Amino acid sequence: MKPPASEKTVRRLNRILTMIPYIRQHPNMTVADLARVIGCTPAELLDDLSRRVLLCGVPPYLPNDYIDVHIEGDRVSIRFAEHFKRPVRFTMPEALALRTALSSFTDAPGPKHLLAKLDHLLSAETKKKVASVRGRIGFMDHPLSVLQQVEEALRSKREIEVEYYTASRDAMTTRALRPYGTVFHQGHWYVVAYCLRRRKELPFRVDRIKAIRILERTYEVPKGFDISRYEREEMYLPVRGDKEVRIRFDAHLARWIREEVPPGSIRELDDGGIVLHLSTAHFDWLIGWILPFGRHAEVLSPPSLRQRLLEASRKTLDSYGVP
């Protein structure tokens, strides 16, 4: 294993070798815009340019042997860097990461195009190495083509119409949405969107979308919208709500539950069981989560959720012809 200091150097060098050709090709962009593209802070970018790139030259170190970084106001251009005209070809981990990510979209048309091009971008040696681990590192859950359509709508800021399964009413609903962003959370993709039917911002699970259509109507994402509010570590995504729930899990289940939930929300019981306390916006997802545990999990409160579980279990027994 390399010591961390070397990793930092490699990371910085990598950034610089990618940044120089980009700036050459896109002269006079602002520092802020460049920093976004390069994936660093404006301060890091300026530091790289003024303290490293500017000093980079070759023997005999005459003025024209140095890369010329020109910063005027907040705009940047670079001269005398013909030898850095393109980024470095993909490294083995980069090629592997790109292939893995792209090939996980099995049923979407877009990524297949790019995937087909990828091989041409690799050196013979990298191509061989990537092939040797092919199929041994990967994302095993395949996102759906629905997701790609959501992304397309998001990019062109066009509304979508979805057929969505709503557990609360146990029905398919058709609704128009304005997608604000997507989140990959605990193995599930969500689209956070303004729902024109409910007139509010809500997260929708992409695998619950049965059909999708991109509409002509366009929209703007509100200025204050921040997708990172949805990027949380908790096991459930729906925004924290005001419904308080307490569930008791017996000793048999306790350790499985502990692995999934934040420790702060658990109270240990003397018999090895636990009581989980959570607040949620709605109960729908809880029915499908708790029912499968049988008698090993019991909702203690609120009574309305106990009632919902009683109904759900009776309906299920009904489907087996049990009175």
DSSP state for residue 242 in the 8-state scheme: S
| Binders in 58-97 for other proteins, by CB under 8 A | 58-59, 61, 67, 83-97
Whole-number Å distance between alpha carbons of 56 and 284: 60
**Residue 139 binds other proteins (CB under 8 A):** yes
| Binders in 208-237 for other proteins, by CB under 8 A | 208, 210, 221, 227-228, 231, 233
The closest of 301, 248, 290 to 272, measured between CA atoms, is 248
| Other beta carbons within 10 Å of 107 | 13
Whole-number Å distance between alpha carbons of 20 and 18: 6
Q: Look at residue 77 and give its three-state secondary structure.
A: strand
Residue 56 vs 266, nearer CB to other proteins: 56
With left for phi above 0 and alpha for psi between -120 and 50, is residue 315 left, alpha or beta?
alpha
Read off φ and ψ for residue 48, nearest 5 degrees.
-60, -45
| Binders in 164-183 for other proteins, by CB under 8 A | 165, 170-172, 181-183
Residue 84 vs 249, nearer CB to other proteins: 84
Strand 200-205 and strand 297-301: the pairing is unpaired
8 Å CB contact between 81 and 24: yes
**Residue 138 binds other proteins (CB under 8 A):** yes
**Residue 144 binds other proteins (CB under 8 A):** yes
CB of 111 to other proteins, least distance (A): 4
CB of 242 to other proteins, least distance (A): 23
Read off φ and ψ for residue 275, nearest 5 degrees.
-115, 125
8 Å CB contact between 283 and 243: yes
**Residue 4 binds other proteins (CB under 8 A):** no
Interaction pattern, residues 22-61, with other proteins; x per rule: CB under 8 A: x--xx--x---x--xxxxxx---------xxx-xxxxx-x
Using the rule CB under 8 A, give the single segment among 69-77, 139-147, 192-200, 274-282 that binds other proteins: 139-147
Residue 199 vs 307, nearer CB to other proteins: 307
CB of 43 to other proteins, least distance (A): 12
| Binders in 241-300 for other proteins, by CB under 8 A | 255-256, 259, 287-289, 291-295, 298-299
Residue 125 vs 242, nearer CB to other proteins: 125
